[in-house]
Structure 1
Amino acid sequence: MNQTAFPDLTLARMASAFAALGSEQRLSVLRTLVRAGPEGLPIGQLGARSGITGSTLTHHMKILAQAGLVTQTRQGRSIICAAAAYPEMQALSDFLLSECCADATCPHEDHAHG
């Protein structure tokens, strides 16, 4: 696979998602939501599990949502947060591994992505 396999628009989207993950706290929030599964967590439980609460959590959720990695849904009086972008997260991983060992003189089978 060559570098042109990811059009510029996709590259921009990937860069935005990686930028959103460029914080230990945001990465922790996303990881907590991934562990919770598709049903997500009420924002209070998310804060308790991730150790990030209040306006800081709200700020990080906004950035993750703008990058398309999480969703927030109101259910009654609760806000349910979820890592709803599993295909996008898989795409990020695929993007990183798509050219694994492409320039190596002797690619190793264990590193091949396919």
Structure 2
Amino acid sequence: MWETTAQGFAAMGSEARLLVLKTLVRAGEAGLTVGEIQERTGIAPSTLAHHLKFLAAGGLIVQHKAGRSVINRADFDRLRVLADFILDQCCADAPAKAANDG
């Protein structure tokens, strides 16, 4: 689990990939074509292809063909797993607050 989790976080390791991922999250389950992502982000097509490849390899997006287009969609289940991984130990070492404090 640690290895695949690290791969997921590594795939987010650039401003451009974070922008693409956030764009796909905003688009929801329907996803976007490469052209639509390019329009919304302004990332050059050749660079965008590179970033989409990274995100797909990290398991953060799912791609499928629809006719001549490739639809890209955020993998919401995978993103929830990554968020839960980071937050599962939240505040475990924080001092307990006394009942009459506050």
Provide the rounded CA distance (Å) in 2 between the counterparts of 1:56 and 1:22.
Answer: 15
Aligned position for 1:94: 84
Q: Provide the residue aligned with 1:105 in structure 2.
A: 95
- TM-score w.r.t. the length of structure 2 is 0.89
SS at match of 2:64: strand
Q: Which has the larger radius of gyration?
A: 2
Q: What is the match of residue 30 of structure 1?
A: 21
Shift of 1:14: 0.8
After TM superposition, the runs of 4+ consecutive aligned structure 1 residues lying more than 4 A away are none
SS in 2 for 1:31: helix
- Taking every aligned residue pair, what percent have the same amino acid on both sides? 49
Q: Report how far residue 81 of structure 1 moved.
A: 1.1
Deviation at 1:53, TM superposition (A): 2.5
> What count of residue pairs does the alignment treat as equivalent?
97
TM-score, length-scaled by structure 1: 0.80
Q: C-alpha distance in 2, partners of 1:65/1:29?
A: 12
The 1-side partners of 2:84 and 2:72 are apart by: 25
Cα distance in 2, alignment partners of residues 51 and 102 from structure 1? 42
- Which runs of 5 or more residues in structure 1 are unaligned? 1-9, 108-114
- What RMSD, in angstroms, separates the aligned Cα atoms of the two structures? 1.1
